[in-house]
């Protein structure tokens, strides 16, 4: 995990300025030990020292909305898994008293309390559909303060026993809420759309937190659903065949334990899952972050494009990962002197020289006896490997005609007709793998040697064998070279490299066009003419094709007018690899059918 994401622990309450500059601005959770230890609520609400009677006297007549789950002790946010039932606060207090007595007597229930549990004020038997299973009840997010709708503040009388922490005094609070459970409970994994400070009044909570970057492994529900901020993965029995990335979710998680008097800052967007001990009481404060409150509506499309681009770049990095087995093969070879390899390289050079005979005077004037000794062993092996790939893939019969005209035919005009297989699969592209596995300094030496001694071979490699993913890899290696080289060395390298081609600009265009083609393959929608009218009825996880296309064309402008025209004649066939992954991992829209694990 990134060191910048580690949760900090503060033993003194921060000042408003320190909280804003050192904690809130980092967008990383922070534990504030003993932050609310001076609250009156810590003594007045404590169930073990008469706190339930105090709560009964203060707010027992208030009607609260309780969460009645079908999956106790887990409380899922999805409406399909629970009901919201109005009950008198005194009813829940009686349940807590019952639980407290069971604990103190070793689960031996007092017959006296059992006979009186239904006799509290405003308590009627028909208010208790949960009478036989009180463990299914949880007071979750019961408002003490609601800025938008003051009438929703069901427990406003409790406000006198708590104080807004000093570091939040300048914040525009959205709400203050009570969280109270009688039995052990677990909340489903979710994030909040507000900054949050969770304060423990009584009991203990264990909180597991994930940064927003862990979204792919948590499978958030569809973004258009009522529980879009909740994870789809079951806490009791996660189905890893359906959610394979969830196996690795714990690697990016952090766990904290909070006790009475502690507080936890949970930034917006951070996923968290909470386990609460019996008879735990907490209060939380929500407020809108500066980032969200300062973003104007007219900027949404711009930020959407920027964020999508960042996610796409990250996804392309995933595409470019070299399989371990291939990397290990190269690693095992690199520890042995490869005399045979150098001899094989010389044989390859001779074959190439024969193949190009009559085509290029530069190739005829090679000094085969010296150039292999000028290269280190690793560079010589790499040179041999790339030249062998060119020799194996360019047919001898086509070399005389095709290679001589390659500089003109390899320009942008010919890119659309080129057919590269496995554009998004690095492991199936030997040229891309060979380049990817080379250190920048080694690749630089290899390319300079080819430019000085094998210009036509280099031209064949770049214009005929370099696929879109290969172009992406090559330009990334160029970036790495630039970071290591001085400005003078950079200039000298590119002068030698590009001067070896007959048409330097055509080569530049070819590399850039294929690099852009790789990005386009990972971004742009692919459409096709509907061969069957039933295809136009396709529904993608609840979003109609037309709605999704309209959203994309208006918000992202990926294909502009062409997309609008295609709406009349085409259906959405599929999102190419990376864009599908971004929608699946970060938006919760799965385009591959019922299995979201692709």
Residue 485's domain comprises 427-529+544-562
Query: Is residue 129's pLDDT more than 80?
Result: no
Q: E strand or H helix at 195, and its extent?
A: strand 195-202
Burial of 519 (0-12, 13-18, 19+ CB in 10 A): middle
Angle of CA points 102, 103, 107, to nearest 5°: 45
315 domain residue, yes or no: no
Domain annotation covers residue 340: no
CA distances from 307 to 2, 232, 296, 329 (A): 20, 23, 16, 37
- Predicted confidence (pLDDT) at residue 288 exceeds the cutoff of 80: yes
CATH number at residue 16: 2.60.120.650
Asked if residue 73 has a cis previous peptide bond (ω within 30° of 0), the answer is yes
Whether residue 435 lies inside any domain: the answer is yes
Of the candidates 275, 294, 313, which is a domain's last residue? 294
Q: CA–CA separation, 212 vs 127, rounded Å?
A: 40
Q: Is residue 165 part of a domain?
A: yes
DSSP string, 11-66: SSPPPHHHIIIIIGGGT--EEETTTTTT-THHHHS-GGGTHHHHHHHHHTT-EEEE
pLDDT digits (tens, 9 = 90+) for 245-265: 999 999 999 999 999 999 999
Domain C-terminal end among 256, 271, 294: 294
Residue 444 forms beta bridges with which residues? none
Cβ 153 vs Cβ 63: under 8 Å? no
Residues 290 and 432 in one domain: no
Q: Please identify, among 257, 275, 294, the residue that sits at the C-terminal boundary of a domain.
A: 294
Residue 30 within any structural domain of the chain: yes
More confident residue, 457 or 584: 457
* pLDDT confidence band for 410 (50 / 70 / 90): very low
- Average per-residue pLDDT for the chain: 76
Check if the beta carbon of residue 458 is closer than 8 Å to that of residue 502: no
Better-scored residue on pLDDT, 391 or 399? 391
- Cβ atoms of 258 and 204 within 8 Å: the answer is yes
Residue 419, in any domain of the structure: no
Closest to 31 measured CA to CA, from 273, 200, 174: 200
Mean pLDDT of 89-105: 91
Chain centre to alpha carbon of residue 256: 22
Q: Quick one: which H or E segment has residue 327?
A: helix 324-333
DSSP string, 430-496: HHHHHHHTS-HHHHHHHHHHHHHH-HHHHHHIIIII--HHHHHHHHHHHHHHHHHS-HHHHHHHHHH
Mean pLDDT of all residues in 274-295: 93
Does a structural domain hold residue 471?
Answer: yes
pLDDT of residue 533: 33
CA atoms within a 13 Å half-sphere pointing along the CA-CB vector of 488: 0
Residues 31 and 180 in one domain: yes
Residue 68 · residue 133 · CB < 8 Å: no
Say which range, 43-57, 76-90, 492-506, has the weakest mean pLDDT: 76-90
Residues linked to residue 381 through DSSP beta bridges, in sequence order: none
418 within domain boundaries: no
Span of 44-53, 71-80, 165-174, 487-496 with lowest mean pLDDT: 71-80
Q: How many domains does the chain have?
A: 2
Beta carbons of 541 and 590 less than 8 angstroms apart: yes
Give 10-22 pLDDT, tens digit per residue.
999 999 999 999 9
Q: What global pTM score does this model have?
A: 0.64
Quick one: pLDDT at residue 149? 85
Residue 541, pLDDT > 60, answer: no
Rounded average pLDDT over 14-37: 96
Q: Which residues fall within 8 angstroms of residue 557, CB to CB, at 6 or more apart? A: 301, 305
Predicted confidence (pLDDT) per residue in 291-333, tens digit = 888 888 888 888 888 888 888 787 777 777 644 443 343 433 3
User: What pLDDT shows up at residue 578?
Assistant: 62
């Amino acid at each position: 995990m990134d060191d910048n994401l580690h949760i900090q622990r503060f033993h003194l309450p921060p000042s408003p300025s320190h909280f804003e500059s050192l904690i809130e601005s980092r967008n990383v959770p922070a534990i504030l030990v003993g932050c609310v230890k001076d609250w009156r609520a810590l003594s007045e609400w404590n169930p073990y020292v008469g706190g339930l009677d105090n709560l009964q006297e203060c707010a027992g007549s208030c009607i609260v909305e309780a969460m009645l789950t079908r999956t106790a002790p887990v409380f899922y946010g999805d409406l399909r898994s629970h009901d919201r039932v109005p009950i008198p606060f005194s009813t829940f207090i009686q349940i807590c008293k019952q639980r407290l007595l069971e604990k103190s007597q070793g689960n031996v229930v007092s017959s006296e309390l059992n006979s009186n549990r239904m006799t509290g004020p405003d308590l009627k038997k028909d208010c208790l559909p949960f009478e036989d299973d009180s463990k299914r009840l949880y007071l979750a997010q019961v408002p003490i303060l609601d800025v938008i709708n003051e009438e929703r503040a069901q427990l406003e009388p409790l406000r006198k026993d708590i104080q807004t922490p000093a570091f939040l005094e300048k914040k525009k609070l959205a709400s203050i809420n009570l969280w109270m459970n009688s039995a052990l409970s677990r909340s489903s994994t979710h994030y909040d759309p507000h900054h949050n400070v969770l304060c423990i009044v009584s009991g203990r909570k264990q909180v597991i937190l994930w940064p927003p970057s862990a979204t792919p492994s948590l499978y958030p529900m569809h973004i258009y659903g009522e529980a879009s901020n909740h994870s789809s993965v079951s806490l009791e029995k996660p189905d890893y065949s359906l959610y394979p990335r969830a196996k690795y979710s714990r690697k990016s998680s952090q766990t904290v334990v909070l006790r009475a008097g502690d507080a936890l800052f949970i930034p917006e967007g951070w996923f968290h899952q909470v386990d609460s001990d019996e008879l735990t009481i907490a209060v939380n404060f929500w407020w809108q972050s500066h980032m969200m409150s300062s973003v104007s509506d007219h900027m949404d499309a711009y930020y959407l494009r920027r964020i999508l681009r960042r996610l796409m770049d990250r996804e392309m990095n995933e595409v470019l990962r070299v399989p371990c087995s291939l990397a290990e093969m190269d690693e095992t070879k690199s520890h042995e002197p490869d005399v045979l390899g150098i001899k094989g390289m010389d044989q390859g050079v001779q074959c190439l020289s024969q193949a190009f005979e009559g085509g290029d005077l530069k190739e005829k004037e090679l000094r085969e006896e010296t150039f292999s000794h000028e290269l280190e062993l690793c560079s010589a092996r790499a040179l041999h490997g790339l030249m062998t790939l060119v020799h194996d893939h360019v047919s001898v019969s086509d070399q005389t005609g095709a290679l001589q005209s390659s500089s003109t035919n390899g320009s942008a005009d010919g890119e659309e007709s080129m057919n590269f297989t496995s554009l998004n699969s690095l492991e199936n592209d030997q040229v891309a793998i060979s380049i990817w596995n080379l250190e920048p300094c080694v690749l630089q030496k290899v390319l300079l040697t080819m430019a000085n001694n094998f210009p036509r071979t280099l031209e064949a490699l770049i214009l005929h064998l370099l696929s879109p993913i290969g172009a992406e890899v090559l330009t990334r290696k160029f970036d790495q070279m630039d970071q290591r080289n001085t400005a003078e060395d950079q200039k000298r390298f590119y002068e030698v490299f590009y001067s070896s081609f007959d048409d330097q600009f055509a080569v530049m265009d070819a590399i850039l066009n294929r690099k852009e083609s790789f990005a386009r393959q990972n971004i742009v929608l692919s459409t096709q003419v509907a061969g069957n009218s039933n295809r136009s009825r396709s529904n993608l996880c609840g979003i109609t094709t037309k709605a999704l296309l309209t959203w994309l064309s208006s918000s992202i402008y990926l294909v502009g007018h062409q997309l609008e025209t295609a709406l009349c004649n085409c259906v959405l066939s599929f999102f190419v690899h990376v864009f599908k992954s971004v929608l699946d991992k970060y938006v919760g829209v799965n385009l591959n059918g019922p299995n979201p694990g692709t």
